[in-house]
Amino acid sequence: MKKCRECGLPIYGRSDKRFCDDGCRNAFHNRRAQGINRELQGTHRKLLRNFRLLQDYESSGINRVRLEELLRQGFDPESCTGLKTAKIRGKRRRSFWSKKTGGTGRYRLIYTLAFRVEKGVVLISSFGS
Ligand SMILES: [Zn+2]
C-alpha cells in the first residue's frame, strides 16, 4: 500500500498518486519551496555580508585586513562568487590585481571585489579596475 508523502496515510485509487489529496500535495510542495528559498537566502546573505565588509575597507583605501578582524565581523572566506588566477606576467595582472595587494596567484571574487587570504591577512582589491 502506497503512503501519502505528506501525511503518511495510505493512498487509495490511481497507482501513480503520491498524495492523498490536493491539500497534502500543496503542503508538500510549499514546504519544499520554502526550504530551497531559505537555503538560497542564507547563501545570499553570506555573500552580501562578505561584500559589504570588504567594500567598507576597500572604499576607505584599506586593502589589507587581518583575517581575524574580518572573521569577528562575520566574514566567511569560503563564500565567494567566483575564482580567478592572476597572470604571472604581462599588463593584465596589474589591471586585475594591483601591485600593492600582492600580485599573482589564485584569488576569490565577490561581486566586484577580489580577495585573497595570505598568512592570516586578507588582501582586497576591486576587480577589473
Ligand atoms: Zn496526505
In a domain, residue 82? The reply is yes
Whether residue 96 lies inside any domain: the answer is: yes
List per-residue pLDDT tens for the chain, 129 residues long. 789 998 988 888 877 889 999 999 999 988 888 887 777 878 888 999 999 999 999 999 999 999 999 999 999 999 999 888 765 555 554 545 555 445 566 789 999 898 988 889 999 988 754
Flag whether 66 is in a domain: yes
Q: How far is the CA of 26 from the centre of ligand 1 (A)?
A: 10
Residue among 72, 88, 82, 76 nearest 117 (CA) = 76
Task: For residue 18, report the distance from its CA to the centre of ligand 1, in Å.
Answer: 9
- Please give the model's pTM, rounded to 2 decimal places: 0.64
89 within a domain of the structure (yes/no): yes
Per-residue burial over 80-110, b = 16 or more CB atoms within 10 Å of its CB, e = otherwise: beeebebeeeeeeeeebbbeebbeeeebbeb
* Ligand 1 centroid – CA 25 distance (Å): 7
The Å distance, Cα 10 to ligand 1 centre, comes to 8
Instruction: Give the number of domains in the chain.
Output: 1
Contacts of 112 (CB under 8 A, 6+ apart): 126, 127, 128
